[in-house]
Amino acid sequence: MNTPANLKYAKSDEWFDPATGKVGITDYAQNQLSDIVFIEIFVEAGETIEAGKAIASVESVKASSEIYAPASGKVAAINKDLPNKPESLNSDPFGSAWMIQLESASAGDVMDAAAYEKHCEERAH
């Protein structure tokens, strides 16, 4: 499982980059979902969101899942390429498959990489 140390993680399997404001789903989440075939992003640029708000929905061959904001702030950008390439969530969840970018963001209830890895291990048992 890839868990970059510079990111913050929500228990609901989203990541937040405090340096750039980008948000996405974790490697653990995409692995659990399997082959992702569809994504819909619910929020728009300019919208102010609160941590915990549903920002997107992803569907895989196994399941569908809501994606929640791990931070509060103003939506500065939406990854408009992602709905056309949902499979990039499986191959590059921390890179090209970011979902939204926040400005003036403040993290919600998030944890560091080590705590998130422990959280994932505990769920696997």
Q: What residue segments make up the domains of the chain, in order of their start?
A: 8-124
| pTM, two decimal places | 0.93
pLDDT attached to residue 22: 97
**Cα 109 to chain centroid, rounded:** 14
Task: Decide if 14 contacts 61 (C-beta within 8 A).
Answer: no
8-state DSSP, 35: S
pLDDT tens across the length of the chain (125 residues): 899 999 999 999 999 999 999 999 999 999 999 899 999 999 999 999 999 999 999 999 988 999 999 999 999 999 999 999 999 999 999 999 999 999 989 988 999 999 999 999 998 76
pLDDT attached to residue 125: 65
pLDDT attached to residue 55: 97
Q: What are phi and psi of 12, to 5 degrees?
A: -85, 15
| Rounded CA separation 45/35 (Å) | 28
8-state DSSP, 34: -
Q: What CATH architecture is 8-124?
A: Beta Barrel (2.40)
Half-sphere exposure of 37 (CA within 13 A, CB side): 7
Task: Decide if 69 contacts 42 (C-beta within 8 A).
Answer: no
